[in-house]
């Protein structure tokens, strides 16, 4: 008897490519979500970023509602909401509203990082000292989404009793430890910060405490995908992401660059190795190459689910890339329970 296919999901940053306006980028989001739904993706997540010309998902809850209203079955959520930027009650009300409007298709992934720079943090009315409150804020938020307790003085309305599933996101051991302690599913940002990936998986699984939410650990691996009809096309499409990460590192962020041939020749040699390292959890190339590289990553890290992303300049090429990836994922079996 063969194992079930490994669940696969999609992370969208609502990229704003060079030559495109924000309104066009936002129209691409539900179109991509509907495409993902038709391809068997389990979830469609959007990420919170601020003060970034090339990313249009700053008002994450609003965009999630937009996508929910234009899809039928796929789960839609945050990958993630940067909780220290917000009051837990406000997030409970926002996601509680989404759950009351659209039913049990809403996910709430939470992150601790600001998703922006220091000046923008201050514009968000956030201080760095607020990070120390992150575990308490997560627990408070979960309480607002749970059943009303006797004598509870403050309720989230909407929100109370919706039990919107909460995920812990992270790129370090901190998130792994907190997810394990609270018994939450855990998604690692290996698509841009894979350095602590193996250790974080080990920490999460070995320290996991069963909870009312989850009986056993559930780990999601984030993977970049740049799929084309040939290996050369895949590497050509990937050049936009290489340029974007380089621009961000050099303090010159902007819209998602157009792809170029021989991108290594135009990027600073001193930076390129570290950018390549950042993007090491990636599958790039033709369909057969994508299938082989995705299988190798699944075999190495044994996730319970993968979430695929990819900053590709041309929206049509991006949709095709996720289509090729879905075809590969449908042939990859889920790991057997330990």
Please give the backbone phi and psi of residue 285, each rounded to the nearest 5 degrees, phi first. 135, -160
Give the mean pLDDT of 49-75: 96
Inform me whether the pLDDT recorded for 116 exceeds 70.
no
334: in domain: no
337: in domain: no
Inform me whether the pLDDT recorded for 107 exceeds 60.
yes
Give the mean pLDDT of 146-154: 94
Binned at pLDDT 50, 70 and 90, residue 114 comes out as low
Q: How many CB atoms lie within 10 A of CB 223?
A: 25
Q: Can you give the residue range of the structural domain that contains 267?
A: 8-329
What does pLDDT average to over the chain? 94
Give the mean pLDDT of 71-90: 95
Please give the backbone phi and psi of residue 66, each rounded to the nearest 5 degrees, phi first. -60, -45
What pTM value is reported for the model?
0.94
3: in domain: no
Two structure tokens written together for 189: 């940002």
**DSSP of 307-326:** EEE---SSHHHHHHHHHHHH
338: in domain: no
- For the chain, the domain total comes to 1
Distance CA 31, CA 329 (A): 21
Residue 130, pLDDT score: 46
Inform me whether the pLDDT recorded for 106 exceeds 80.
yes
* Predicted confidence (pLDDT) per residue in 184-209, tens digit: 999 999 999 999 999 999 999 999 99
336: in domain: no
Give the three-state DSSP class for 222. strand
Binned at pLDDT 50, 70 and 90, residue 174 comes out as very high
89: in domain: yes
206: in domain: yes
Residue 1, pLDDT score: 37
- Whether omega for the bond prior to residue 80 falls within 30 degrees of 0, making it cis, is yes
Give the mean pLDDT of 129-142: 84
> Please, which residues have CB within 8 angstroms of residue 1's CB and are 6 or more apart in sequence?
none
What CATH number did the domain enclosing 47 receive?
3.20.20.30
297: in domain: yes
* Predicted confidence (pLDDT) per residue in 272-323, tens digit: 999 999 999 999 999 999 999 999 999 999 999 999 999 999 999 999 999 9
């Amino acid at each position: 008897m063969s194992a079930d296919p490994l669940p696969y999901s999609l992370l969208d940053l609502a990229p704003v490519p060079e030559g495109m306006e924000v309104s066009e980028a936002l129209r691409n989001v539900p179109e991509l979500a509907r495409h993902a739904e038709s391809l068997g993706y389990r979830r469609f997540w959007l990420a919170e970023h601020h003060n970034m010309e090339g990313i249009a998902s700053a008002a994450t809850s609003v965009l999630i509602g937009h996508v929910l209203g234009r899809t039928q079955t796929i789960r839609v959520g945050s990958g993630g909401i940067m909780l220290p930027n917000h009051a837990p009650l406000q997030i409970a009300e926002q996601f509680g509203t989404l759950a009351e409007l659209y039913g049990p298709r809403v996910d709430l992934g939470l992150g601790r990082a600001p998703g922006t720079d220091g000046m923008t943090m201050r514009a968000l009315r956030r201080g760095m000292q607020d990070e120390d409150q992150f575990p308490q804020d997560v627990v408070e938020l979960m309480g607002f989404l749970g059943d009303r307790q006797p004598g509870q003085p403050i309720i989230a309305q909407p929100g109370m009793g919706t039990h919107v599933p909460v995920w812990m996101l992270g790129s370090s051991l901190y998130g792994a430890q907190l997810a394990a302690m609270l018994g939450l599913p855990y998604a690692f940002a290996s698509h841009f910060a894979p350095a602590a990936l193996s250790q974080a998986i080990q920490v999460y699984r070995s320290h996991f405490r069963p909870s009312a939410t989850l009986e056993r650990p559930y780990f999601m691996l984030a993977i970049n995908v740049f799929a084309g009809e040939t290996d050369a096309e895949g590497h050509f499409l990937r050049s936009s992401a290489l340029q974007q990460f380089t621009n961000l590192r050099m303090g010159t962020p902007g819209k998602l660059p157009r792809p170029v041939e021989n991108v290594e020749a135009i990027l600073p040699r001193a930076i390129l190795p570290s950018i390549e390292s950042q993007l090491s959890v990636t599958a790039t190339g033709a369909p057969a190459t994508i299938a082989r590289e995705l299988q190798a990553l699944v075999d190495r890290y044994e996730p319970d689910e993968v979430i695929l992303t990819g900053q590709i300049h041309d929206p049509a090429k991006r949709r095709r890339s996720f289509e090729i990836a879905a075809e590969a994922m449908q042939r990859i079996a889920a790991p057997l329970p330990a």
